[in-house]
Amino acid sequence: MKKIKIIGGGLAGPEAALQAAKFDCDVDLYEMRPHRSTEAHQTSDFAELVCSNSLKSESENTAPWLLKQEMRRAGSILLAEADATAVPAGHALAVDRELFSKRVADRIAAEPRITVHREEVTHLDENDADTLTILASGPLTSPALAAELQRLTGSDHLAFYDSISPIVDATTIDMDKVYFAARYDKGTADYINCPFTKEEYETFLDALTTAENVESKDWEKFPVDGTASKLQYFEGCLPIEETARRGRDTLRFGPMKPVGLTDPKTGRWPYAVVQLRQENLRADSYNIVGFQNHLKYGEQARVLRLIPGLERATFLRYGQIHRNTYIHAPSLLTETLQLKAHPRIMIAGQLSGVEGYTESIASGMLAGRYAAALAHGNTLTPAPRASANGSLTHYITHAETKKFQPANITFDLLPPLEVELRKKMRDKKERHKLQCERALAAWDEWLGAIH
């Protein structure tokens, strides 16, 4: 039976390793940290959540909920650990990131079929007939390994620039100026809301849009092949200052949207609002939702302290930027995540073109299952197109090649309902419910067929 080699200890790699081991395969799991770190990681832990601590919505019949429901039914191990380490976050699944990483590490250590190697992989052997390789090294793949992947694919990498939100010491928040609320009072009031008047918002906006950015580092300017490039931000995760420069009201209709967040002191919605989300079970720190940025640290302290309630805030972590690398999946990958030219090598996680924590874990889950099936000599059956997992994979492998960007799971990726049904079902929630029912039915049928 073929051995499975997995490169990357983020989210996709450990999930793939644990899935393959569950199906009686021996796995070598490689992680280069701590011997070689990256521009964004702060630890050498498995499953470190670099940006926020949220795995998105748990509201029934939403696209993120659907993806997670499919993963739960398939026995995703990292998602089970996320559920076990959840912290209050309203309708979202957010985790205590330290405890989450520890539990994932414990699961890996307890699995006798997984051997961990703390070393950098710099060579990919496409001719090794006895080994299946899952490359899940993430958006911060080392230059040497990225060059190897470029050699194999014969194509340039694409890169966008992703950002990390600041984290605030909870004891330094002025609780007299903020309030807990859930949007439209739905669910539990788990978010701290910092309300702005029009004057406060205008002052904040002026400071934000004129603040000094961090100078671009060499690793930001140059992709793997050494040619210069400008920063190319991912539209789904723009730095807050970039969003603000698109118009005076852009933030009020985006990350600072006050709709449904009634201030108990006034009985009205504020002019704008900044939300803080709990970071861990101790509730001693909060991240500023949607406030990823590329400002100098001193500028961040000055600007962010203009947020009502954060005038004397201590920042445990400032926002920062990092390069995200991903392959051109539509031209390179099959629907079973194999390189078309080298089918013994699979790509999983953000390197494949999926975007987001949950999506990365889902990609690793599929890759681990596919690799295990190949190791046992079984025929691969890709996840069904009607499912959220299948639709996400279908997007990255069939997207229009000239406009390909990483994707989160959305209903736009799922097969649309028939025209007559869409005309008959005018309520979007009802249409989404039907799409979820169809997706879960297709997913359950697929799971039953491959077991």
Cβ proximity of 223 and 140 under 8 Å: no
- 């832990």: which residue's tokens? 45
In DSSP notation, 51-116 reads: S-SEEEE--TTSHHHHHHHHHHHHT-HHHHHHHHTEE--TTEEEE-HHHHHHHHHHHHHT-TTEEE
| Close Cβ partners of 47 (under 8 Å, ≥ 6 residues apart) | 9, 10, 11, 14, 78, 81, 100, 101, 104, 105
Count CB atoms within 10 A of the CB of residue 43.
13
Sign of CA pseudo-dihedral 16, 18, 23, 26: positive
Q: Is 11 among the annotated ligand-binding positions?
A: yes
Q: Which two tokens stand for residue 439?
A: 């997706």
Radius of gyration of the chain (CA): 22
Maximum pairwise Cα distance, the chain: 69
Please give the torsion angle defined by the CA atoms of residues 379, 384, 387 and 389, in that order, rounded to the nearest 10 degrees. 40
Is 12 part of any known ligand binding site?
A: yes
Q: Cα 291 to chain center, whole Å?
A: 16
Calpha distance 25→370 (Å, rounded): 12
Q: Distance between CA 95 and CA 85 in Å, rounded? A: 5
CA dihedral 19, 22, 28, 29 (to 10 degrees): 40
Ligand-binding site membership of 10 (annotated): yes
Residues ≥6 apart with Cβ < 8 Å to 348: 12, 13, 16, 134, 135, 136, 337, 360, 363, 364, 366, 367
Burial of 50 (0-12, 13-18, 19+ CB in 10 A): buried
Ligand-binding site membership of 8 (annotated): yes
From 141, 296, 151, select the one nearest 223 (Cα to Cα): 141
Q: Binding site for FAD: what residues are annotated?
A: 8-13
Q: Binding site: what residues are annotated?
A: 8-13
